[in-house]
Structures are given as C-alpha cells and as structure tokens.
Amino acid sequence: MLSNGSFELGNPTWNSYGFQSLFAPDNFTITGWAISAGSVDYIGTYWQAAHGRRSLDLAGLYYNGTIFQSFPTVPGVPYLVSFALAGNPDVQPRTTTVRVWVSAGSSTFDWADFSYVVNGQTRSNMGWTYVSWIFTAQSPLTTLGFTSLDTYNDPQWGYSFGPALDDVSVTAIPEPATLALLGLGLVAIGFLRRQS
C-alpha cells in the first residue's frame, strides 16, 4: 500500500560519506515521502540497510526529523504497519526512540513509541530488528509518519544521531467475521440463488 517503503527510490546527492542530510520541507528527494519537520539523513553506503541499499536516520543534521506518506484506506479496517528499526551507531551506548503515528487530515488519532538500545552495533552490523503496530483507519486517506524522539543532544552536532528506519510496509488485516461472510455467506447465497 505504501510507495517506496524501503526508501530505495529517490534523487539523492550523496556526500563523500555516503549519505545526504535532508531538511524540511522536502517532498521530492525520497520518492513518495515528505519531510515535514527537522532533518532526516538519507543513508546510502554510510551504513548497512535492512533491505536493499538505502535507509534513514530520522535525526539528520542538528534536528530530530519527521517523515510521512499518505495512502488510501478503508475506514474501520485495521492495518498492520511493519518496519525495520535500528539506531545510528555513531554515539553509544544510548537508547533511541521513534514515534510512528497516523493522522486523518490534520488530526493525529493514534501513535506508538518504539525504543531501541544502541550498544555494540556498527555501521556494517546495524542490528536491524523488525517491529509492527496496528492502527484502525478512520478516513479514506491516512497519513503514516515517523518522528525521531531521540534525546541525545551532542555538543557539536545537536540532535544528529537518531533511530534508523527501513523497509516500511502497511497491509490491511482481514477481519475473521468479514472473511467468514465472504467465504461462506456469499457463496451460500449464490448457491441458493442458483437452485431457485
């Protein structure tokens, strides 16, 4: 349901380290995603991705960042959000936190915070872990966003060491009752109609 959930598509200008710091507002560098607050690092060769070759540091240069995408949903239907989470390993040990949230229009109606302990990981061994979260859509268009809540404020670089994000996916969760109706009820109705 998402476009470019693994962040593989975009138009980055990599620096010599293999990443690019992006700043809000930016709605074109990473295909399908917009940066609405702060800064996000678009990571290429700088560190190991969870999937493909690219990922994000949600605290880019100096600021915790927010990135989001909107997609069609069916009100009342639950959706499973899955993503790969790690942390910028350049400052450790520390605990980093990402907030995943959904909004309908300008109203954020649900969110969850996921923390990740950075302790021993390296850029070539990021320790990606997959987490998931469920929300129930409230409108025909849902905005899914990720915000860094990292608290490490570096004397030189500020909030530049955030949660790492990759491989985001969203799938509708079929409800058992609905499946039962579709699988049995409608077939039975069709059968009866054919008999009459």
For position 58 contacting Ca ion by CB under 5 A, the verdict is no
Which is nearest to 31 in space by CA: 52, 10, 13? Answer: 10
Choice from 22, 49, 104, 126 touching Ca ion (CB under 5 A): 49
CB of 6 to Ca ion, least distance (A): 4
Q: Does 6 engage in binding with Ca ion (CB under 5 A)? A: yes
DSSP state of 95: E
Give the interface segment with Ca ion, choosing from 5-13, 23-31, 62-70, 79-87 (CB under 5 A): 5-13
Q: Contacting Ca ion (CB under 5 A), which of 33, 38, 51, 88?
A: 51
CB burial of residue 69 (10 Å; 0-12, 13-18, 19+): buried
Residue 149, phi-psi category: left (phi > 0), alpha (psi -120 to 50), beta (remainder):
alpha
- DSSP element (H, E) containing 96: strand 94-104
How far apart, in whole angstroms, are the C-alpha atoms of residue 59 and residue 21? 9
One-letter amino acid for residue 13 of the chain: T
Would you count residue 99 as binding Ca ion (CB under 5 A)? no
Residue 52 touches Ca ion, criterion: CB under 5 A: yes
Measured from the CB atom, the residue of 57 and 73 that comes closer to Ca ion is: 57
Beta carbon nearer to Ca ion, 68 or 152: 68
- Contact positions vs Ca ion (CB under 5 A): 6-7, 49, 51-52, 54-55, 166
